[in-house]
Structure 1
């Protein structure tokens, strides 16, 4: 087995689809949501009150700033899928080209990276989540089975020498860094 997808064990009875290519020459595999998910509009969050106060020279406390910036974060939409691949490969997660145009949904960092050692990790079995932000004015309901992003298997190169800081993965999402 070189590379591919599996369903995470807690979803085995949920009738999920493995990621698939929609056309013969498509580079990306379409991922679907594993359950219904409401993605709130960023325009409904309290950070707008902070922006309004700043714009109108009204007092803003450190707590207001902290709360406003904490809210403006992506939401993790589960897929119920894990990916296996060779040690010199990664899975690049990207927007579907239609998502920003049709629904105002974006990956806030533009892409996501799934490392080979994320597969079957002890933290979450390697389940892939898409980090999404809804830039639209209204909340968006993502239905189970709706395509939310795409994944592309990619090789990578390593620099000469040994990286003394590299460690064995010990957890799930976000465990490889601070």
Structure 2
């Protein structure tokens, strides 16, 4: 659903036939571009809300070009949009670069990838089965 105030902002779209992500666009006011200073973060509106079947989630991920060229990335990555959420999709961006970055209305700011959510039932147990790795974590499987 396109939300009021997002007129003229493109709807999410894949930029190639085999792309897995749908690009999301900034719905900031045209007369007030958003300037992200180095180290600053902002919740950027997209002007859309979605509805999905219960077996799906939408993941919000950074755009590699923005990250590489400008140091702009998403916090809380991937961000999860649950199937029962009906509010506006907003993207939490941060400027990890060294220069201010201006976000204009209609600019591609992130991508949205849809994933299946398998039905999982968690059950408490008294003991877990043994594995070679065991409880090792945070770099335990390699030294480099």
Q: Same fold (TM over 0.5)?
A: yes
For 1:16, which of 9, 18, 22 is the aligned residue? 9
TM-score when scaled to structure 1?
Answer: 0.62
> What secondary structure does 2:98 align onto?
coil
Q: In the alignment, which residue of structure 1 is the partner of 2:62?
A: 95
> What secondary structure does 1:102 align onto?
helix
Following superposition, the deviation at residue 75 of structure 1 comes to 1.4
For 1:152, which of 97, 110, 113 is the aligned residue? 113
Is 1:27–2:24 an aligned residue pair?
Answer: no
Give the RMSD, CA atoms, in angstroms. 1.7
Following superposition, the deviation at residue 108 of structure 1 comes to 2.1
CA distance in 2, matches of 1:23, 1:117: 28
Is 1:39–2:36 an aligned residue pair?
Answer: yes
CA distance in 2, matches of 1:158, 1:76: 31
Structure 2: gaps of 5 or more residues? 124-144
Structure 1: gaps of 5 or more residues? 1-5, 43-71, 120-125, 163-178
Q: Provide, for residues 20-76 of structure 1, a one-character-per-residue CA deviation record: whole Å limited to 9, x for no partner.
A: 00001001000110112111211xxxxxxxxxxxxxxxxxxxxxxxxxxxxx7x310
Following superposition, the deviation at residue 107 of structure 1 comes to 1.0
CA distance in 1, matches of 2:113, 2:122: 28
Is 1:143–2:110 an aligned residue pair?
Answer: no
CA distance in 1, matches of 2:43, 2:90: 6
Q: Which has the higher helix share?
A: 1
* Residue correspondences, number: 119
Q: In the alignment, which residue of structure 2 is the partner of 1:7?
A: 2
Q: In the alignment, which residue of structure 2 is the partner of 1:128?
A: 89
